[in-house]
Chain A
Amino acid sequence: MLLNAPAMERLVDAFRQLPGIGRRSAERLALHILTAPAEEAAALGDAIAQARRRITTCSRCCDLTEGDPCAVCADPARDHSLICVVERPAGAIAIEKGRGFRGGYHVLHGALNPLEGIGPDELTVEHLLHRLDHESVEEVIIATNATAEGEATAHYLGKLITAKGVAVSRIAHGVPMGGGLEYADDATLSHALDGRIRL
C-alpha cells in the first residue's frame, strides 16, 4: 500500500508545487510514474535535469535560452534598434508566435509589486538601462501586462527610458482582432474607447 509511504508523499508534494496541479492531479501523476516502465520515469527525470542545466538566461535580453546569446539576440536579420520589454519569458513567446515583431526583447522577470516585496532591484531594470547605454537602441516598446502592477512598471520604465533620450511606447490595449464587440468585457471596451485613434 502506497498510502502514506514517505517517498510517494515526497513525489506528490513535488508535483503539487507545479502551477495548476492540485492534490488529485499530483497523485495521478505520481502513480503514473511509479507504474510506468522504469526507463520512462528515468527519462523524465533526465529531461528535467538536462533542461535545467542547459537552459540559462541570455546575457543580453535576460530571456531563457539554450546557448548564450539567445537565438533572437544572435540573429543579424532582426532589428536590434527596437526592444520589446515583457514581464516574463511567456510574454516574449506570445509575441514571437504572432510573427509580427522583428525587433529584440528584454525580459524583466516580474513587475513592480510592493506587496510581494518586488522593487526595481528585483527586476532586470539596471540591465535594460545598461543596454540602452551600450547598444544603439532607437525605441523601446513596453509590453508589460495590463494589470495594476504591469501599468506601474510601464510608467516607471517610461520615465527612466525617456531620461536616456530613447523613444518609448506602450502597446495598445483593446478589442481582440476578429472578435465581435459584444464579446469584449466592459473594462476592455471602456479602455479601447479611451485609447481610440483618429482616422
Chain B
Amino acid sequence: MRVTRLACKGFRCLKDLSFDPGPGVNILSGDNAQGKTSVLEALLFLVTARSHRTTKEGDLAAHGAHAFDISGAFERHGRPLAMEIHWRRGQKRFKVNGAVQDRVSDILGKVHVVFFSPEDVELVRGAGAVRRRFLDMELSQLSGRYLHALQQYRQVLRQRNELLKAPRPDESLLAIWEQQLARHGAIITAERRRFAETLRGLARDAYQRIARREDFEMRYAANIDADEPEAFLEALEANRARDIKRGASTRGPHRDELDFEIGGQPARNFGSQGQQRTAALALKLAELELVRQIGGEYPVLMLDDVLSELDARRSRQLAGALPAGVQCILTATDPGGGRSVLPVEHTAFVIEDGCLERK
C-alpha cells in the first residue's frame, strides 16, 4: 500500500496542498505550528473519516471556512485507487475511484494506515480503558463477529447496570441479562486472547529491533478467564451478590487488561519515558506487521513527531527497524529535516506556514 498523491483544499492551515510522497521514507520537517501534523491528519481523515485530534469536524476546516476537500491517489496491490472526501457544513461525501459512496463503512478498510503520535504513549502509561480501546479498534476492523459481540455486550451491560441501580435488584431479572453477557463476553475474550497472542510475538520482535537490550513482554489479562459461555456465566453468577452491593457490574471484558513488562517490571509504573514510548511504538510496528500478514501488504505508516522523544541511538535503531518496502511518512521539528538522526535514504519535504515544498 502506498500513497502517491495527497491533495487538499481548505483543510486546517494547509494552503491548497499537493503532496507527492516517495515510495520509502518521507520526512516532513518544519517549525512548530506550520502544518506538519495536519498533513498526516488529512490523510488519516481521508481513509478513516475520522481525526485523531478532534471529534468536532468543523475544527478541520480552515479558520472561518465551512468546507474542505481531501483527495488521494493510492497504489493498492499494484493497482491504482482514488479516494475523495468532500466536507460541506457537517455533510460528508465520499468517492472511491470517482463513484459516490453512501456510507462511511464503504470507504473504511480501502486504505489501511497505521498512525503513531506522541499521545500514543498512553497505550503504555495510561488507564486500562486506553488499551481496551486499542484492542477494540483493531479487532473491530479485523472481525465482524467481534464488532457485533462488542456492540451487544455494551448494550446488555448498560441494561444490567440499570437494574443494579435499583434499591433491591431482582435477581431473576439480572440472571436474564447475564445469559447474553456470557455469550458475547466469551466471544470478546476468545478473540482478544487470540489477537494478543499474535501481537505479542510481533511486538517483542519490534521492541528488540529498536531497543536491543531490554526484554519486552505483553500479556492479555482477561478479567473473566473463560472462552466458553458456560464458564463465563458461572463467574458472573458467583459475583452477582457483590455486583448488587456495589451497584455495578464489577467483572467482565470491560475490566480486561493488557499488561506490558520491560525487563520483568510493569512498564506502566516502572518504565522510563523512553522505554514507554518505545513500547508504544513497538505495538504500532506490530500492528503494521499484523496487517501485512492478514492483508498481504504493508499499510502506510505515519509517525508524528516520534524522533523528538527518542534518544539518538533509539532513533537510529528505529530507522533500522522499519521493514523494507513500507511507505513511511514522518514529521520532525529538527531543522536538519531529521537527516542527522535518521540515516536512511528518504525524500525530504519542508513545510512552512501551510506550504509544502520538496527539498
Where the two chains meet, the residues of A that have a C-beta atom closer than 8 Å to any C-beta of B are 112-115, 119-120, 147-149, 151-152, 155-156, 159, 185-187, 189-190
With contact pairs A114-B162, A148-B159, A149-B159 given, residues A119 and B148 touching in the complex (Cβ less than 8 Å): no
Q: Is B212 an interface residue when CB atoms closer than 8 A count as contact? A: no
Distance in Å: Cβ of B326 to nearest Cβ of chain A: 29
Contact of B145 with A187 in the complex, beta carbons under 8 Å: yes
B317 at the interface (CB under 8 A from A): no
Chain A residues with Cβ below 8 Å from B176 are 112, 152, 155-156, 159
> Given that A152-B176, A155-B179 are contacting pairs, would A190 and B159 also be in contact in the complex, using a CB cutoff of 8 Å?
no
The 6 closest A-B pairs by CB, nearest first: A186-B144, A187-B148, A114-B162, A190-B145, A148-B155, A114-B163
**Docked-complex contact B144 and A187, CB < 8 angstroms:** yes
Q: A62 CA to B284 CA in the complex, in Å?
A: 57
Residue of B nearest to A153 (CB): B176
Query: Does any Cβ of A come within 8 Å of B308's Cβ?
Result: no
B152 close to chain A: CB less than 8 A: yes
A117 smallest CB distance to B (angstroms): 9
Contacts of B147 in A (CB 8 A): 186-187
Nearest A-chain residue to B177, judged by Cβ:
A152
Residue of B nearest to A160 (CB): B172
Q: 24 A-B contacts, Cβ less than 8 Å apart?
A: A112-B159, A112-B176, A114-B163, A114-B173, A115-B159, A119-B170, A119-B173, A120-B173, A147-B155, A148-B156, A151-B180, A152-B156, A152-B177, A152-B179, A155-B179, A156-B173, A156-B176, A186-B145, A186-B147, A187-B147, A187-B148, A190-B144, A190-B145, A190-B148
| A186: B residues at CB distance < 8 A | 143-145, 147-148
Interface residues of B (CB under 8 A from A): 143-145, 147-148, 152, 155-156, 158-160, 162-163, 170, 172-173, 176-177, 179-180
Q: A152-B177, A155-B179, A156-B176 are in contact. Are A114 and B159 (CB under 8 A)?
A: yes
A contact residues around B158 at 8 Å (CB): 115
Nearest B residue to A116 by beta-carbon distance?
A: B162
A85 to chain B, nearest CB (A): 15
Check A152–B180 contact: CB distance below 8 A: yes
CB-CB < 8 A to A185: which residues of B?
A: 144
A148-B156, A159-B176, A190-B148 given. 5 additional CB < 8 A pairs? A112-B173, A114-B173, A115-B162, A149-B159, A155-B176
Inside 8 A of A152's CB, which chain B residues have their CB?
156, 159, 176-177, 179-180
Nearest neighbor of B144 in chain A, beta-carbon distance: A186
Given A113-B159, A115-B158, A148 contacting B152 (CB threshold 8 A)? yes
Identify which of A147, A159, A187 gathers the most chain B CB atoms within 10 Å of its CB.
A187
Chain A nearest CB, measured from B157 CB (Å):
9
Chain B contacts for A120, CB-based, 8 A: 173
Closest Cβ–Cβ distance, residue B327 to chain A (whole Å): 29
- Please give, as numbers and ranges, the residues of chain A lying within 8 Å of B172 by CB-CB distance: 159
Q: How far is the CA of A155 from the CA of B182 in the complex (A)?
A: 13
Across the interface, which residues of A come within 8 angstroms of B144, CB to CB?
Answer: 185-187, 189-190
Question: Quick one: which of A114, A147, A185, A190 has the most chain B CB within 10 A?
Answer: A114
B104 to chain A, nearest CB (A): 15
Q: Write out the residue numbers on chain B whose beta carbons fall within 8 Å of the beta carbon of A159.
A: 172, 176
A156 contact set on B, CB distance < 8 A: 173, 176
Query: Closest approach, in angstroms, between the C-beta of A184 and any C-beta of chain B?
Result: 10
Q: How far is the CB of A1 from chain B (nearest CB, A)?
A: 28
Residues of chain A within 8 A of B143, CB atoms compared? 186
**B143, B160, B180 — most chain A CB neighbours (10 Å):** B180
B284 to chain A, nearest CB (A): 26
- Cα(A115)–Cα(B177), bound, Å: 13
Neighbouring B residues of A113 by C-beta, 8 Å: 159
Chain A contacts for B160, CB-based, 8 A: 114
**Closest residue to A146 on the B side, CB-wise?**
B152
Min C-beta distance of A4 to chain B, whole Å: 26
A149 vs B147: C-alpha distance in the bound complex, in angstroms? Answer: 18
Closest chain A CB from B16 CB (angstroms): 36
Residues of A within 8 A of B179 (CB): 152, 155
A4-B152 Cα distance, complex, nearest whole Å: 44
Q: Considering residues A148, A155, A159, A186, which has the most beta carbons from chain B within 10 angstroms of its beta carbon?
A: A148
Chain A hits for B159, CB < 8 A: 112-115, 148-149, 152
Q: How far is the CB of A146 from chain B (nearest CB, A)?
A: 10
Measured CB to CB, the closest approach of chain A to B5, in angstroms, equals: 32
Looking at the assembled complex, report how far the CB atom of A118 sits from the nearest CB atom of chain B, in whole angstroms.
10
Q: In the bound complex, how far is the Cα of B4 from the Cα of A116, in angstroms?
A: 51
B contact residues around A148 at 8 Å (CB):
152, 155-156, 159, 180
> Nearest-CB distance from A8 to chain B (Å)?
28
Nearest CB in chain B: distance from A56 CB, A: 30
Closest Cβ of chain B to A27, distance in Å, is 21
